[in-house]
Amino acid sequence: MADYEKKESEVLEKIAKTVEKLDTTLTELDNLDEDKNKKHEIKKWYEEKKAIHEIKHILHEVGKYAKYDEDEMKKIDKYFEDYNG
């Protein structure tokens, strides 16, 4: 049981780090010039999608999320690049 608790703790730590990184990025984007607010909103959307994808990946690795799609991030990247391109 101790091994399970250790693994659970590690998974929660990874998820917490992902969410903290997202919070930091979103705060930085909020503090940027408001002249480019539209681009910041798209960047926020992208960062949120990226964080959700990472959380899904973490959960998939420990068998807690079966719907993980490895190619989902490629689709999101392409959409983001097309929008900014």
Residue 32 has a pLDDT of: 79
The interaxial angle of helices 37-61 and 2-30, nearest 10 deg, is: 170
Structure tokens at 22: 């997202």
- Please state whether the predicted TM-score (pTM) of the whole model is above 0.75: yes
Query: What pLDDT, on the 0 to 100 scale, is given for residue 2?
Result: 79
- Read off the pLDDT of residues 5-55 as tens digits, 9 standing for 90 and up: 888 889 999 999 999 999 999 988 888 766 566 678 888 999 999 999 999
Residue 1 C-alpha from the chain's centroid = 30
C-alpha radius of gyration, the chain, whole number: 16
- Alpha-helical (H) ranges within 31-71 are 37-61
Helix, strand, or coil here: 31? coil
Phi then psi dihedrals of residue 31, to 5 deg? -85, -5
